[in-house]
C-alpha cells in the first residue's frame, strides 16, 4: 500500500491527512474517509487505512486536530476533544475538508471515483462522520464504530443525504441507551436512512486490539468482525443504490 501526505487548510489552520491506496490496482476506486479516534493520525490509524484500502477503497486518514496541535497519545483525551465537542460547526468544517481533500487528491492521481464517496470513523471519529452526514454532505454512506452520538447541532428535516450505520456495544458508556434513543429520534425526525447494530455485552473501542479496560473499553474480535462485515456491505449497498 502506498501512503502519501495530503496538506490543506481549514479556517486558516494547516492540516495533513494521509492518502492510502493500492498502487497496483487498476482503475478508479470508491473513496473512503477514515476518521481516527482522539489520538488522530497515528501509525495505528494509518495501518487501519491500509486495511481498509485492501478492501478496494482509496482511503484518507483524516487529520481532525491540525498540524499545530497533534496529540502524542499521553494526554487526557478531553484536553483535545472538549473544545471540538463544544463547537460542532468546527468539526463539521474539518471532516468536510477531509472529504474534499480526498476527492481532489484521488481525482488528480486518477485513482478515485468521486461518484462513490463514504466515510467510516472510530470513537471520536465516529462522531465526526455522523456530523459529516448531519452537515448534508453529498456522500453515499457513513459508518460510526463505537462513536459518540451526542451533538449540539442536530440534523434538520431533509438535510441528511448519506445513509448512516451506527455499530455499538450495549455496554459502551460513551453512548449509553439514552444517547442511542436520542440519536434514533433525531434521525427519524430528520427523515434520514439510518441503521443501528447494538451488540450485547460489548464495550467501547471494540475494534481496537489494544483496548483492555473493562467496563469502559475492551476489544472484541467477534464484534469487530461483525461490525466490519456489515459496514462493507452497507457501503456497497449505498453505492449500488440499494439503500
How confident is the model over 87-112, as a mean pLDDT? 96
pLDDT tens-digit profile of 48-91?
999 999 999 999 999 999 998 888 777 787 887 888 888 899 99
* Mean pLDDT rounded to a whole number for the chain: 95
Cβ-based burial of 76 (10 A; exposed 0-12, middle 13-18, buried ≥19): exposed
**Predicted pLDDT at 72:** 75
**Predicted pLDDT at 82:** 84
**Predicted pLDDT at 74:** 73
**Predicted pLDDT at 56:** 96
- The pTM assigned to this predicted structure is 0.95
Instruction: Answer for the pair 34, 45: CB distance below 8 angstroms, yes or no.
Output: yes
**Predicted pLDDT at 44:** 96
- Give CA separation, 157 vs 131, 181, 191, in Å: 15, 18, 6
| The Cα angle at residue 82 between residues 96 and 9, in degrees rounded to 5 | 35
Q: How confident is the model at residue 2 (pLDDT cuts 50, 70, 90)?
A: very high
Instruction: Answer for the pair 160, 187: CB distance below 8 angstroms, yes or no.
Output: yes
pLDDT tens-digit profile of 125-178?
999 999 999 999 999 999 999 999 999 899 999 999 999 999 999 999 999 999
**Predicted pLDDT at 106:** 97
Domains and CATH numbers, the chain: 2-239 (3.40.50.1820)
Phi then psi for residue 9, to 5 deg, are -120, 145
Q: How confident is the model at residue 92 (pLDDT cuts 50, 70, 90)?
A: very high
Percent of the chain scoring above 70 in pLDDT: 99
**Predicted pLDDT at 199:** 97
**Predicted pLDDT at 68:** 85
**Predicted pLDDT at 125:** 97
**Predicted pLDDT at 227:** 97
**Predicted pLDDT at 223:** 97
Q: How confident is the model at residue 22 (pLDDT cuts 50, 70, 90)?
A: very high
Q: How confident is the model at residue 197 (pLDDT cuts 50, 70, 90)?
A: very high
Cβ-based burial of 113 (10 A; exposed 0-12, middle 13-18, buried ≥19): middle
Amino acid at each position: 500500500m502506498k501512503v502519501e501526505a495530503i496538506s490543506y487548510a481549514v479556517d486558516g489552520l494547516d492540516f495533513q491527512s494521509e492518502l492510502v491506496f493500492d498502487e497496483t490496482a487498476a482503475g478508479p476506486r470508491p473513496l473512503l474517509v477514515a476518521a481516527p479516534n482522539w489520538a488522530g493520525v497515528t501509525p495505528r490509524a494509518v495501518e487501519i487505512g491500509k486495511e481498509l484500502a485492501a478492501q478496494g477503497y482509496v482511503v484518507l486518514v483524516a487529520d481532525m486536530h491540525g498540524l499545530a496541535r497533534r496529540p502524542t497519545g499521553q494526554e487526557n483525551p478531553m484536553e483535545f476533544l472538549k473544545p471540538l465537542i463544544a463547537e460542532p460547526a468546527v468539526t463539521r468544517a474539518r471532516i468536510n475538508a477531509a472529504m474534499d481533500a480526498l476527492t481532489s487528491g484521488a481525482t488528480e492521481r486518477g485513482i478515485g471515483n468521486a461518484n462513490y464517496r463514504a466515510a467510516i470513523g472510530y470513537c471520536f471519529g465516529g462522531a465526526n462522520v455522523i456530523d459529516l452526514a448531519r452537515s448534508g454532505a453529498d456522500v453515499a454512506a457513513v459508518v460510526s464504530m463505537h462513536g459518540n452520538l451526542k451533538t449540539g447541532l442536530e440534523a434538520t428535516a431533509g438535510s441528511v443525504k448519506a445513509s448512516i450505520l451506527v455499530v455499538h456495544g450495549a455496554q459502551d458508556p460513551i453512548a449509553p441507551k439514552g444517547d442511542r434513543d436520542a440519536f434514533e429520534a433525531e434521525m427519524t425526525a430528520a427523515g434520514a436512512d439510518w441503521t443501528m447494530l447494538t451488540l450485547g455485552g460489548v464495550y467501547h473501542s471494540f475494534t481496537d486490539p489494544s483496548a483492555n479496560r473493562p467496563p469502559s473499553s475492551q476489544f472484541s474480535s467477534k464484534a469487530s468482525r461483525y461490525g466490519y462485515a456489515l459496514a462493507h456491505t452497507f457501503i456497497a449497498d449505498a453505492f449500488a443504490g440499494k439503500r
